Chain A
Amino acid sequence: MSTPLLSVSNLSTSFFTSRGEVKAVRGVSFELRAGEILGIVGESGSGKSITCMSLMGLLRSSGRVIDGSALFEGRDLLTLDEDELSALRGNDISMIFQDPMTSLNPTLTVGEQVIETILRHRKVTRAAARARAIELFELVRIPSAAKRLRSYPHEFSGGMRQRVMIAIALACDPKLLIADEPTTALDVTIQRQILALLKELQGRLGMAVILITHDLGVIAETADRVLVMYGGMVMEEGPVRELFARPSHPYTRGLLASIPDLRDDTHHRLTPIPGSPPDMLRPPKGCPFAPRCAHAMAQCNAALPPLYDAGPVHRARCWLHHPQAPRVAGITAELVPA
């Protein structure tokens, strides 16, 4: 296995508010190989967006990375200063956001917003940057690209704006694209188009993608590997097929059960997970999911479980995987002994 493009270990981020320290991310570790699509899935507040914002150095003022490292091509992103980071952002690592309606500056033409990115990172003339912008618009399939450069964001539909955002993100051939809920704010049909486009461009340009979403369906269609986050921690990680076939954490199982399956004509009732996420101001001592978990045991409230192997490339943070734990069908039945 070659060295990964990005290797995050023990990332911890907190927000220091008037009410105290909110531990949004608590020791997240993962790796990303070049050209790989990693899905990060979790409910809102699970820390998935904060994880990526921490990597990009884009935390809001009250947020701070308090521990960990994030090696990107041998450099630790968390120790770079603002100048070094900004030279990296939009260049080697770029990002697209959830709401294309508000993510573009309403008072600048979309062309300008693409061109300024190119001019920031490449030593090219304005004309060359413009030509590149047209090329990018064609790449993301915005019709009559040259003409549309002069339009303002409000003259575009939501889907088209997200295409503009993608064009901006791809402007400097990034090695890593972080897509933070790129389709959540869009209509279902547009969602599919944008996802297909992302996947196609990823294949063509060979970049790595981190896809943040709360929608396991999106992950299933797009990602290679999945990270399931809850309470600021990684709960389960593994290849998409593996994780969908053998969810090894009760939380993942819950998530999967709450997806309506149209192909399934047995009319299962949709089962939402009861309860709400933990208060990160005072995170529980044990497993953060324990209060909502159907299989919770005394041990779960007593101590935080480590990440256990649930397969060769599949891990889950659940006490049920402890060698002495009772077996639970569907989660640990096929457990491969460590």
Chain B
Amino acid sequence: MTAYVVQRLLLMLVTLFAIITLTFFLMHAVPGGPFTSEKMLQPEIQAALNAKYHLDDPLWLQYLNYLRGVLSLDLGPSFKYAGMSVNEIIAEGLPVTMKTGALALICVVALGVPLGIVAALNRNRWPDTLVMVIATIGVAVPSYVIATVALYVFALRLGWVPTFGLDDWRGYFLPVFALSGFWISFIARLARSSLLETLQQDYMMTAKAKGLKRGTVLFKHGLRNSLIPVVTVLGPVVANLLTGSFVIEQIFALPGIGRHFVLSITNRDYTAIMGITIFYAAVLMVMIFIVDMLYLVLDPRIKYRADAK
């Protein structure tokens, strides 16, 4: 048990470290430097800026300083917004991204899993066909297409929901729908195939042969086992909800971190790009860790295998 937790924690830290390092050196590999892409600056201003942001230090020193900053949860100043730190940019966008992201995640689990179960239990009958058709559309049509089509139909044409912003609670519908559409479909398909496979397992036969009631067989023996693969993909789901928010926040003009990230890319705000990437990675690592722990609860074999190593 502890061996597994420690192992996962270590992996998480190593990954995070790898991400910080990779991001740092990638951003410093940009030809020229952070201020060259804009209009030509006078040399003395350039020098002053470089000194201000410690860009004239040797790279390894910059790296160590940055690492120290990250460890003390300081992601440094923004290059483009004078007087604003990356931390502040993140803090500003976080509530919006968190809210839409959390709602989307809830939708993914609360809709995807039941849809998959319904489909599996009605295999080759109309509910199955219906779910699979919807899920196939959801998996194939890119989120930004869903988002723009939904925006046009429900906001511009029908006027049911606002076209942008979250001031009205109805404003959440479209972003959350667009953000979660793919993953609801994906999870529905996964849950369906996983449950179908579980239903074929020998231990399901044993459960029936013991005379257990249909509900017990299905929920206690079938569902729990078939959810294991679903839980495994929740980590990547969170990652993709985060990156998916880049376009969704842009389309619906939501002031979230994703929009800030895209803005900092167009502005070449390197510290912001770096900081937000690391922030994303950290959030993701924590989510993956949570998923791993959930996995531990669901599947006792994991614990055993990790301890045996």
A binds B: yes
Residues of A within 8 A of B (CB): 56, 58, 82, 86-91, 94-95, 97, 99, 102-108, 116-117, 120-121, 152, 154-155, 165, 168
CA distance A152 to B308 in the complex (A): 14
**9 A-B pairs with the lowest CB-CB distances in the bound complex, closest first:** A90-B211, A89-B211, A90-B210, A102-B202, A105-B203, A95-B209, A152-B300, A117-B210, A103-B202
**A168 pairs with B210, CB closer than 8 A:** yes
**A103 pairs with B211, CB closer than 8 A:** no
**B212 pairs with A90, CB closer than 8 A:** yes
**A106 pairs with B225, CB closer than 8 A:** yes
Chain B contacts with A in 152-202, Cβ cutoff 8 A = 201-202
**A116 pairs with B210, CB closer than 8 A:** yes
CA distance A86 to B207 in the complex (A): 10
**A120 pairs with B210, CB closer than 8 A:** yes
**B213 pairs with A86, CB closer than 8 A:** yes
CA distance A102 to B221 in the complex (A): 13
Please, which residues of chain B bring their CB within 8 A of the CB of A56? 209
**A106 pairs with B212, CB closer than 8 A:** no
The main secondary structure of chain B at its interface with chain A is: helix
Residue of B nearest to A104 (CB): B203
Count residues on chain B whose CB falls below 8 Å from chain A CBs.
24
Partner of A102, one of B203, B209, B301: B203
B208 within 8 A of A: yes
Smallest CB–CB gap between A276 and chain B, Å?
26
CA distance A95 to B211 in the complex (A): 10
Please, which residues of chain A bring their CB within 8 A of the CB of B214? 82, 86
Please, which residues of chain B bring their CB within 8 A of the CB of A154? 300-301, 304
A sample of 9 inter-chain contacts (CB < 8 A) reads A86-B208, A90-B211, A91-B211, A105-B203, A106-B299, A107-B298, A107-B299, A117-B212, A120-B211
CA distance A120 to B207 in the complex (A): 11
When A86-B212, A116-B212 are in contact, do A104 and B206 touch as well, CB less than 8 Å?
yes
CA distance A160 to B116 in the complex (A): 36
**A89 pairs with B304, CB closer than 8 A:** no
Highest count of chain A CB atoms <10 Å: which of B203, B206, B216, B224: B206
Please, which residues of chain B bring their CB within 8 A of the CB of A155? 304
When A105-B225, A154-B301 are in contact, do A120 and B213 touch as well, CB less than 8 Å?
yes
Please, which residues of chain B bring their CB within 8 A of the CB of A88? 211
**A102 pairs with B210, CB closer than 8 A:** no
**B203 pairs with A89, CB closer than 8 A:** no
Residue of A nearest to B212 (CB): A120
**B206 pairs with A116, CB closer than 8 A:** no
CA distance A82 to B202 in the complex (A): 19
Highest count of chain B CB atoms <10 Å: which of A56, A99, A107, A117: A107
When A107-B225, A154-B304 are in contact, do A58 and B210 touch as well, CB less than 8 Å?
no
